[in-house]
Amino acid sequence: MTMTWRLILFAATTPVDPAALERLPAVRIVYYDVHGTRYREIDDDQRRRGPVDPADGQRYDAFTRLRIRWRWPIGRDGRCDVRHPQVTYRITVTLPRLHDRDHDRDAVSPLLRRRWDRRVMHLRVHEAGHVGLDLAYVRRVTQALRHSTCTPADPVAAALGEQLNAATRAYDRITDHGRRQERWHGTDI
């Protein structure tokens, strides 16, 4: 199977409702504050404060990070039980939040507030795509562990992790980090 086909299979993501990210188990939303009363001020502040992607050292408007761990339970006979791998994960989505100066909602015009809200919704849609890719990865790791032996699963997980990284890079390339989200159709990778 070529890498392209593996990525297409990997990209069968779990559809995620961007408005429901907070209600997903093991998904946590964290916010960073952005300040300003004019669009340019807000945009500049967001570029200064946005989360850094450790893979490339770049700041982005939003970021999604997956942390995953697994192990096999040990049976009464002292051997591992490959049928029931224990997989735990946490997905953290970092989004911007417009911080009202002195909690004065009128400091930002209603038009700018609507523009900001639209911008954040577009970021949520894009990050929901990353969450879908991460959930597909968790599912694939769990399946791979069920079909493995008790030997270390690191090589299997590393190979799947490389597929996730490639799928994530392709997703960001196709959507231009969410600026062209309409290009994404869920199985484009």
Whether the pTM exceeds 0.75: the reply is yes
- Confidence check: pLDDT of 9 > 60: no
- Confidence check: pLDDT of 129 > 70: yes
For residue 7, the model assigns a pLDDT of: 40
- Confidence check: pLDDT of 154 > 90: no
| Tens of pLDDT, residues 26-53 | 999 999 999 998 989 999 999 999 999 9
Mean pLDDT over residues 155-183, rounded?
A: 83
| Tens of pLDDT, residues 53-105 | 998 899 999 999 999 988 878 888 887 777 788 889 999 999 999 986 555 56
Q: Is 37 exposed, middle or buried (0-12, 13-18, 19+ CB in 10 A)?
A: middle
Going from N- to C-terminal start, the domains of the chain cover: 3-182
78: left (phi over 0), alpha (psi -120 to 50) or beta: left
